[in-house]
Amino acid sequence: MKHMKFVAVLLIATFVLAACGPAAPATIKIGINAPITGDIPKVGEGTKFAAELWLEEIGGTINVGGKDYKVELVIEDNESKGESAAAVNTKLITQDEVLVIVGPQASKQAVPAGAVANDLETPMISPWSTNPATTKDRPWVFRTPFLDPFQGPVIANFVTDEFGFTKAGVLYDIASDYPKGLAEYFKQAWEELHGEGSVVAFESFTTGDTDFSAQLTKIMDAGAEFIFAPQYYNEVALIVKQAHELGFTGPIVGSDSWGSAETVNLCGEDCYGLFFSTHYAAEGATGATKEFIDKYNAKYGYVPDDVAALTWDSLNIVKTAIENCGKLTGDIKADRKCVRDAMANIKEFHGITGDMTFTEEGDPIKCAVIVRISEEGKFTFYKQVCP
């Protein structure tokens, strides 16, 4: 009898608490701003898959201050356009009322979208954007990858040490933030090493171009020993094939944008043996990185690319920040502020793409990896370069 009474009191207490407790959010909404369609759909796919895998991994909940919250992902397509990415952020923040945004991936979208997130005071973390402008003077915007002012010199040093070249040719998309920024950082680094005029050709094109024969002919005519092409996977295939058809025999070196699962599918044998700098190498990975790769591969049938791995890390940073926040009030403005502060307070993070130390600006300091595309078309670890 006594036992029954206890149960009854407990039941009533639960009901009362549930009914008149503060309007605590039962769910945490995380917005994902990804290029599902447009120029780089494989990047969008990787983002989506990694996010869904992550949701499964955490069992769909995050525990904040002893209370389990259901996590809901709001995945939106930005068509890999800057203006769409900004619109997606506005929608996620004002309409869906997400707590935090993960994405966009490419700098072309992350730079304008970051402005929106910062203005509307919502924490955003870009998993893949390496252009400094994304987070500069934006206290609400963070990122997971290294930055281009670091990546440019990494590539310049690597080519100098590996091949001993002195004359560089660069081919890049002038209408896209990432290639344009990185091409300039590379040029600067290369000229510091080899003197003024050692970048013998600095050629550009605009997004959507498919014929690069004029630029490549110019680069070859200028006597470049190698070509640096910081482009996305669909352009990589075209540039490399056309360079070979024009009789270019030197190496073509890439950057982290090459690290897509689609690069080798589109480029094929033309890309075998080429090098690029990136965030992680799937081949030969160990520990948590390998675990992630195996799970992803088992579920989706291919080895996850950088974008997927960085999205995974970003989501875990978000999770840590939300947990560190300690308490969610249900007032979305206050909670966003709490998560932002918690995110800014993360000083070190051990991710599957390496250990990161965060600066004041919200940028990580981490190592880069030089990857070689093997004769089987696999991304193999070649060398690690740390700051």
Minimum Å gap between C-beta 383 and another protein is 30
What φ, ψ does residue 169 adopt, rounded to 5°? -115, 140
Q: How is 84-152 classified by DSSP, letter by letter?
A: HHHHHHHIIIIIS--SEEE---SHHHHHHHHHHHHHTT--EEESS---GGGTTT-TTEEESS--HHHHH
Smallest separation, CB 75 to another protein (Å):
14
| Residue 98: closest CA among 130, 129, 76, 68 | 76
Name the minimum Å distance from CB 217 to another protein.
5
192 binds another protein (CB under 8 A): no
**Closest distance between another protein and the C-beta of residue 135, in Å?**
27
Residue among 235 and 335 whose Cβ is closer to another protein: 235
CB 96 within 8 A of CB 75: no
User: How many H helices and E strands in the chain?
Assistant: 12, 16
**Least Å distance between CB 103 and another protein?**
16
- Does 205 bind another protein (CB under 8 A)? Our answer is yes
- Look at residue 170 and give its three-state secondary structure: strand
**CB nearer another protein, residue 206 or residue 286:** 206
Could you tell me the smallest distance in angstroms from the CB atom of residue 252 to another protein? 16
User: How many angstroms separate the Cα of 306 from the Cα of each of 58, 141, 240, 349, 379?
Assistant: 21, 20, 21, 17, 11
> Which of 43/322 has CB closer to another protein?
43
Residues 20-79 within binding reach of another protein (CB under 8 A): 36-39, 41-42, 44-45
Q: Closest distance between another protein and the C-beta of residue 238, in Å?
A: 6
204 forms part of the interface with another protein (CB under 8 A) = yes
Q: Which of 119, 221, 331, 375 binds another protein (CB under 8 A)?
A: 221
Asked if 265 interacts with another protein (CB under 8 A), we say yes
**Residue whose CB is less far from another protein, 263 or 316:** 263
Please select the residue that binds another protein; options are 116, 156, 224, 237, rule is CB under 8 A: 237
Does residue 246 belong to the site contacting another protein (CB under 8 A)? yes
Residues within window 150-189 making contact with another protein, judged by CB under 8 A: 174-175
209 sits near another protein (criterion: CB under 8 A): yes
Q: Does 266 bind another protein (CB under 8 A)?
A: yes
Give the bridge partners for 69, in sequence order. Answer: 62
- Pairing between β-strand 100-102 and β-strand 124-126 as defined by DSSP bridges: parallel
* Beta carbon nearer to another protein, 201 or 317: 201
Dihedral sign, CA of 183, 184, 187, 193? negative
Site for another protein contains 207 (CB under 8 A): no
* Binding flag, residue 119, another protein (CB under 8 A): no
Residue 213 interacts with another protein (CB under 8 A)?
yes
Question: Pick from 164, 156, 174: which is nearest to 385 by CA?
Answer: 156
354 phi and psi angles, rounded to 5 deg: 110, 175
Nearest residue to 143 via CA among 104, 98, 88: 104
User: Tokens representing 328?
Assistant: 């969610």
How far, rounded to the nearest angstrom, does the alpha carbon of residue 73 sit from its chain's CA centroid? 17
CB of 174 to another protein, least distance (A): 6
217 in contact with another protein (CB under 8 A): yes
Helix (H) or strand (E) holding 379: strand 379-385
Tell me if 273 contacts another protein by CB under 8 A: no
CA angle 38, 226, 246 (to 5 degrees): 75
**Contact set with another protein (CB under 8 A):** 36-39, 41-42, 44-45, 174-175, 203-206, 208-211, 213-215, 217-218, 221, 234, 237-238, 241, 244-247, 262, 265-266, 268
